[in-house]
Structure 1
Amino acid sequence: MPGTNTVAMFVAFDEDDHGQAVPAFAPLQASTAEEAIQSADQLASEHAGAVAWTRSTEPAIGEMGEPVIIFQRGHVGDFN
C-alpha cells in the first residue's frame, strides 16, 4: 500500500523484585527484521528474555498497525 512502511523493533526484559518481566530499556528500532531478530536473540542470553516485532506504519496519517512478533525467547512482558 502506498505510504505504508514496516518498522522492526526489539527490547530486552529483566525481572523486578517480584519476578515480573520489565523492559531493560526503551524499545529500539532495527534497520531490518533480521537485525531485530539477531539483536533480540543476543540480548535474550544476557537478560531474562527478549522480543522482536514488526509493525506497519502510515506516517502521513500517523497510524500504526498491530505488532507482529517475529522472535521471542525467555521471560517477556508488555512491550507496546
Structure 2
Amino acid sequence: MAKIKLIVLAAYKRDDEGNMVEAMEEKQMPTEDRAIREGKSLVSQYDGVVAWSRDADPDIGEYGPPTIIFKHGETPDMG
C-alpha cells in the first residue's frame, strides 16, 4: 500500500476535575473539507473540537507529524 493521508476528527469535554477528556471516539474522515465542515457542526456540543491530518504508511508503521486543519475551543496537546 502506498502512503495515504489520515484525516481525523475528535471532540472533547471538560470532566468534573477540569481535565479535557475524549467525548467521542476519533473519527476518520474522507477529506479535509468534510472534517472541517463536521468539526464546525460540533462546536456547540463540545468544549473542544479538532480535525487534523498526517501522511502515513501503515504497512511499515511510518506516520508523519499531525497538522491541525481545524480547531475550536480547548483540546489536548497533539505533541
Question: Residues 20-67 of structure 1, C-alpha deviation per residue, up to 9 Å, x if partnerless?
Answer: 111102211001011111111111221111000001111231211111
Indicate the SS of the match to 1:41.
Answer: helix
Separation of aligned partners in 1, 2:61 and 2:77: 22
Q: Is 1:25–2:24 an aligned residue pair?
A: yes
Partner of 1:8: 7
Using the aligned pairs only, state the percent identity: 35
Secondary structure at the counterpart of residue 34 of structure 1: helix
Q: What's the TM-score once normalised by structure 1's chain length?
A: 0.86
Match of 2:55 in 1: 56
Q: What residue in structure 1 maps to residue 36 of structure 2?
A: 37
After the TM superposition, list the runs of 4 or more consecutive aligned residues in structure 1 that deviate by more than 6 angstroms. Answer: none
Measured in 2, the distance between the counterparts of 1:32 and 1:9 equals: 9
Aligned partners of 2:66 and 2:78 also within 8 Å: no
Q: Which runs of 5 or more residues in structure 2 are unaligned?
A: none
SS in 2 for 1:42: helix
Structure with higher strand content: 2
Task: Give the root-mean-square deviation of aligned CA atoms.
Answer: 1.8
- TM value normalised by structure 2: 0.87
Shift of 1:79: 5.7
